[in-house]
Amino acid sequence: MARGRLNSGSKAEAELPKAKLNKQSLRNVSKLLSYIKPYRLKFIGGLVFLVISSLVGLAFPGFFGALIDASQGVKRYGFVPADLKKIGEVAIVVLFFQGFVSYFRITWFVQVAEKSLAAIRRDTYFRLITLPMNFFANRRVGELNSRISADLSQIQETLTTTLAEVIRQVIILIGGITLLVIISWKLTIALLVILPVLIVFAIVFGKFIRKLSREAQDQLAESNTIVEETLQGIANVKAFVNEAFEAGRYDKTLQRVVNIAVRGAKFRGMFGAFIVFCLFGTIFCEIWYGSYLVSIHDKGMTFGQLTNFIVYAAFISAAMGSLPDLYANIQKAVGASERVLEILHEQGEDVSINAEDNVTKKQINGNLEFSNVEFAYPSRSEITVLKNVSFSADAGQKVAIVGPSGSGKSTMAALILQFYHPQSGSIKFDGVDADHYALTDIRNQVAIVPQDVLLFGGTIAENIAYGKLGATREEIITAAKKANADNFISGFPEGYETLVGERGVKLSGGQRQRIAIARALLKNPAILILDEATSSLDSESERLVQEALEVLMKGRTSIIIAHRLSTIREADKIIVLEKGNIVESGNHQELIANEQGLYRYLSQLQFENA
Ligand SMILES: Nc1ncnc2c1ncn2[C@@H]1O[C@H](COP(=O)(O)OP(=O)(O)OP(=O)(O)O)[C@@H](O)[C@H]1O
């Protein structure tokens, strides 16, 4: 029987897919074992102690037999006198030793597993966050999350518990059967003929019952979804007077739950009857035959031996019963390891895990140039998103990019940030190709104020300091003041210590943007990308954000992805994109003068809508 968990990992998902165990998969997994290397002495020590404690555990029931025999005046072993007191003394010493060995086995295994798993977790997480954006385009966050949680917990469980259990159970199985044969080969043969058949039957039957109960759980989950949906959309339910409909829908799924559960109960009952009849029947027959052997004295066995036999028989039945589960656990762990290794083997971006390595080495003044940039997202390589795009922004200039939805504006921002690389053409900073800069040099000196500002769970101060991790409190407050954020922050009872994010206060769109502006101010970048929010703020909030943006843009190159053309009249240059091509560029006056131009058309459209 698998033991309780000894470690901190959360319960691994029962549904983790199993992998086939073969040479290749085991070779793959052995790569993860390199994480155990630094702790190999402890690991080997733990293994040795495990073998010792398993052997001692196996030998211990010998005392029961010896005690019973001694009580009847029969001396069992040459080295143990037929004296209850002496046997008791030896047993206490052995128990003490067993306790000592078990303590170190458990603590060492857990220490090795926790430390090496923490290293694997850290490496996986770090690799994950340094993988190129394209990697994330093809994967769901939930799937990646489960690599870090469920997959790694499964590996952890295997290292701390399953591995030890397999070794223990195999020792018990081999040692136990050997001892049984020594005690009575006749009884052993009888046992070994019946037991495996019963266990295989019980396992197959057990699996079938588990499948049924999973089906019932799935049904229950479905009915819970109805409750959730209905409660979330309660206003809709009421407005359409659909209470009866919803109740009926819920009732139907409940009925299905009951049907499956009742069907499962029948099989469960049969299983119970089988266990009672066959398993207990077998035990009874064994004891019956054993008692017969005891009764014929000289050719048979002693009471003590019969007791020993029964205890060992229980041991090996439990060991046999636990092996399939343990095997399935190892299969799951192998599958989990392969998935984790997949991430570890991915090529990450050139960002170091040490913050000191990521400091800016080459300064950028703010001159930016796209020349003949062609780009298609690697995940959709057949669609060219940017075609032959060329433009330049001098240091300190404001350049706006406008164009219909899907024309490629955000893609240009992604290219400036080096999230992707053009298939042809080049992007230059201060006249030098982006490839000649360290990736971190570019990202350190380019800041983005995105449309949708993501705030991390933490305080407002921490969120602002995300732009400059070592910022002092004064720097944070100064940035917030410049970003027109200090007023609303000071209005909260906890001020800068107010928690935001899931468990904190919910900030309005305009407030979040001002926090993002403060963040960018702290970062003090040479090049700024503003992805203007599409959803309009109320006019007061917009004024505050706009003012803050003006402060932020001062003295740096600003690339403004504009949705509302009214905000970019003052831009030094406006680039008009259409389906990935630059169709026009110039300042507002020049562009508006072109009667056939897209800019003029878009302006008119917005003016009319307004
Ligand atoms: N990660 C991605 N993978 C594949 N295709 C993408 C990806 N992101 C955007 N695209 C596609 O690239 C094209 C340009 O998208 P982009 O987001 O740059 O347009 P946009 O001008 O910023 O649009 P909007 O104004 O709606 O934000 C679109 O056809 C879009 O479907």
Q: Is the CB of 436 under 6 A from ligand 1?
A: no
Helix axes 473-482 and 539-553, enclosed angle (nearest 10): 120
Torsional class of 398: left (φ above 0), alpha (ψ -120 to 50), beta (otherwise): beta
Q: Is the CB of 407 under 6 A from ligand 1?
A: yes
Tokens of 429: 């900073």
**Nearest 5°: phi and psi at 587?**
-90, 175
Among 41-45, 69-73, 82-86, the range of highest mean pLDDT: 41-45
Q: Residues 190, 192, 195, 196: is their CA dihedral positive or negative? A: negative
Compute the average pLDDT of residues 482-507: 85
Q: What is the pLDDT of residue 80?
A: 65
Are the C-beta atoms of residues 579 and 407 closer than 8 Å to each other?
yes
* 527 Cα to the center of ligand 1, angstroms: 22
Q: Residues 405, 411, 413, 414: is their CA dihedral positive or negative? A: positive
Q: What is the pLDDT of residue 268?
A: 85
Rg (CA), the chain: 36
Q: Which of 214, 216, 210, 215 is nearest to 257 (CA)?
A: 216
CATH ID of 358-609, from 3.50.40.10, 3.30.1450.10, 3.30.1300.10, 3.40.50.300: 3.40.50.300
* 130 Cα to the center of ligand 1, angstroms: 22
Q: Is the CB of 531 under 6 A from ligand 1?
A: no
Taking CA atoms only, the protein residue closest to ligand 1 atom 4 is 377
Lowest-confidence region among 76-85, 95-104, 183-192: 76-85
What residues form DSSP beta bridges with 459?
499
For a pocket test of ligand 1, which of 410, 534, 578 has the largest count of ligand atoms closer than 8 A to its C-beta?
410
Are the C-beta atoms of residues 137 and 414 closer than 8 Å to each other?
no
* 225 Cα to the center of ligand 1, angstroms: 33
Residue of higher predicted confidence among 535 and 224:
224
For a pocket test of ligand 1, which of 140, 407, 598 has the largest count of ligand atoms closer than 8 A to its C-beta?
407
Q: Is the CB of 410 under 6 A from ligand 1?
A: yes
| pLDDT above 90 for 149 | no
Taking CA atoms only, the protein residue closest to ligand 1 atom 31 is 406
Are the C-beta atoms of residues 515 and 447 closer than 8 Å to each other?
no
3-state secondary structure of 375: strand
Residue of higher predicted confidence among 150 and 178:
178
Q: Is the CB of 377 under 6 A from ligand 1?
A: yes
Grade residue 535 by pLDDT with cuts at 50, 70 and 90. Answer: low
3-state secondary structure 309-346: HHHHHHHHHHHHHHHHHHHHHHHHHHHHHHHHHHHHCC
Q: Is the CB of 130 under 6 A from ligand 1?
A: no
Return the amino acid letter for 38: P
Grade residue 7 by pLDDT with cuts at 50, 70 and 90. Answer: very low
Burial of residue 7 (number of CB atoms within 10 Å: 0-12, 13-18, 19+): middle
CATH code reported for the domain at 20-184+322-349 = 1.20.1560.10
| pLDDT above 70 for 172 | yes
Q: What is the pLDDT of residue 372?
A: 94
3-state secondary structure of 253: helix
Residue of higher predicted confidence among 64 and 521:
521
| pLDDT above 60 for 608 | yes
Percentage of the chain exceeding pLDDT 90: 29
Compute the average pLDDT of residues 290-297: 81
Residue 580 CA: nearest ligand 1 atom is 14
* 427 Cα to the center of ligand 1, angstroms: 19
User: pLDDT per residue over 44-80, tens digit each?
Assistant: 999 999 999 999 988 888 888 888 888 877 766 666 6
* 420 Cα to the center of ligand 1, angstroms: 13
Place of tokens 């469980």: 157
Lowest-confidence region among 277-286, 361-370, 469-478, 517-526: 277-286
Q: 424-429 and 432-433 as β-strands: parallel, antiparallel, unpaired?
A: antiparallel
Q: What is the pLDDT of residue 476?
A: 92
Buried-state track 561-600, b at ≥16 Cβ within 10 A, e below 16: bbbebebbeebebbbbbbebbbebbbebeebbeeeebbbb
* 184 Cα to the center of ligand 1, angstroms: 77
Place of tokens 């994967």: 139
User: pLDDT per residue over 400-414, tens digit each?
Assistant: 999 888 899 999 999
pTM for this predicted structure? 0.74
Q: Is the CB of 409 under 6 A from ligand 1?
A: yes
- Map out the domains of the chain as residue ranges: 20-184+322-349, 185-300, 358-609
Among 55-64, 281-290, 425-434, 497-506, the range of highest mean pLDDT: 425-434
Grade residue 333 by pLDDT with cuts at 50, 70 and 90. Answer: confident
Q: 573-578 and 581-586 as β-strands: parallel, antiparallel, unpaired?
A: antiparallel
For a pocket test of ligand 1, which of 379, 381, 409 has the largest count of ligand atoms closer than 8 A to its C-beta?
409
User: pLDDT per residue over 185-215, tens digit each?
Assistant: 888 888 888 878 887 888 888 888 888 888 8
What residues form DSSP beta bridges with 427?
370
Tokens of 435: 């490839």
Average confidence score pLDDT of the chain: 85
Are the C-beta atoms of residues 399 and 411 closer than 8 Å to each other?
no
Percentage of the chain exceeding pLDDT 70: 93
Place of tokens 């060992």: 312
Compute the average pLDDT of residues 375-380: 90
Q: Is the CB of 415 under 6 A from ligand 1?
A: no
Residue of higher predicted confidence among 15 and 106:
106
Compute the average pLDDT of residues 498-514: 81
Taking CA atoms only, the protein residue closest to ligand 1 atom 25 is 405
What residues form DSSP beta bridges with 557?
527
SS3 content of the chain, % helix, strand, coil (to 5): 65, 10, 25
| pLDDT above 50 for 13 | no
Are the C-beta atoms of residues 373 and 415 closer than 8 Å to each other?
yes
Taking CA atoms only, the protein residue closest to ligand 1 atom 26 is 405
Q: Is the CB of 186 under 6 A from ligand 1?
A: no
- What ipTM was reported for this prediction? 0.97
Grade residue 12 by pLDDT with cuts at 50, 70 and 90. Answer: very low
Helix axes 61-71 and 303-344, enclosed angle (nearest 10): 170
* 406 Cα to the center of ligand 1, angstroms: 5
| pLDDT above 90 for 415 | yes
Q: What is the pLDDT of residue 566?
A: 76
Residue of higher predicted confidence among 327 and 353:
327
Residue of higher predicted confidence among 184 and 390:
390
Q: Is the CB of 137 under 6 A from ligand 1?
A: yes
3-state secondary structure 162-231: HHHHHHHHHHHHHHHHHHHHHHCHHHHHHHHHHHHHHHHHHHHHHHHHHHHHHHHHHHHHHHHHHHHHHH
